Amino acid sequence: MSLLKIRQEIERLGGVFPIPKGDFPVLNEEAISSLESKIGKILPKDYRDFLSVFAGCSFNQYVLLKPQKETAEYIHSESSGYVNPIFKRALIAYFYGSDKGTHPISWAYSTYQERIPNYCLPIASDGFGNQLILSLQENSSGGIYWWDHENEWDADDYEDENEGEKMPEQVKWQNMYFLASNFVEFFESLFVDEQV
């Protein structure tokens, strides 16, 4: 059922094409299981279905996403002096696919795993370093988030600015914006930029 709904949403948004041109660089069951082993979590069925049919794709149209709220999941206190940026919307350039494609999900995971919250997986990009994230954490499993790299705060900088204090895991959510509770709901929230 989830794959049918995703197909309908892809059609509503004007379709997708594989990157590179040719066949979609999809992940077979073995590749999905290998990815799950690296992460240490099982992927939700709706996203597994997507990986097996449409991985490594881009939209034919300019497709945008917007958060359910403009503030990040972690808010710094006013007394901290840190700015809490807002996020309004973004473009999706491409979804990650298999190692046969131009944008492998294995590369995305190894590149971002130390920079994003634990048990989170980059699944798409805007092409400028910002990431669409699938949470596999217990309290938000299946949730879809936007990770804004412009507001990333790495662990070394945090320690320098906080007198050697280690960065708590929850601070990694200070540039994460909630989009949807699951992958199908995420697709339902997408829209084509009519101004292009």
DSSP 57-120: EEESS-EEE--SSSB-SS---GGG-----B---EE--EE-B-TTSSSBHHHHHHHHTTTS-TTE
Angle between helical axes of 29-39 and 45-53 (0-180°, round to 10): 130
Tell me how far apart the alpha carbons of residues 181 and 156 are, in angstroms, rounded to a whole number: 31
pLDDT for residue 159: 86
Whether residue 181 is predicted with pLDDT greater than 80 in this model: the reply is yes
- What single-letter amino acid sits at 119? Y
pLDDT for residue 123: 98
pLDDT for residue 34: 95
pLDDT for residue 196: 66
- Higher pLDDT pick, 196 / 150: 150
**pLDDT average, residue stretch 42-67:** 97
pLDDT for residue 51: 97
N-to-C CA span, the chain: 32
Question: Average model confidence (pLDDT) for the chain?
Answer: 93
What is the secondary structure of 3-55 as a DSSP string? HHHHHHHHHHTT-EEESSSSS-----HHHHHHHHHHHTSPPPHHHHHHHHHT-
Q: What strands, in cross-sheet order, belong to the sheet with 63-65? A: 90-91, 63-65, 191-192
2-189 belongs to CATH 3.40.50.300:
no
- Higher pLDDT pick, 196 / 146: 146
Q: Which two tokens stand for residue 191?
A: 């829209």
pLDDT bracket for residue 165 (50, 70, 90): confident
pLDDT for residue 81: 81
C-beta neighbour count of 18 within 10 angstroms = 19
What does the pLDDT look like over 75-119, one tens digit per residue?
Answer: 988 888 888 999 999 999 999 999 888 999 999 999 999 899 999
Whether residue 1 is predicted with pLDDT greater than 80 in this model: the reply is no
pLDDT for residue 158: 79
In the block, residue with structure tokens 């948004």 = 13
**Lowest-confidence pick of 7-16, 141-150, 187-196:** 187-196
Which is nearest to 55 in space by CA: 38, 34, 32? 32
Whether residue 154 is predicted with pLDDT greater than 80 in this model: the reply is no
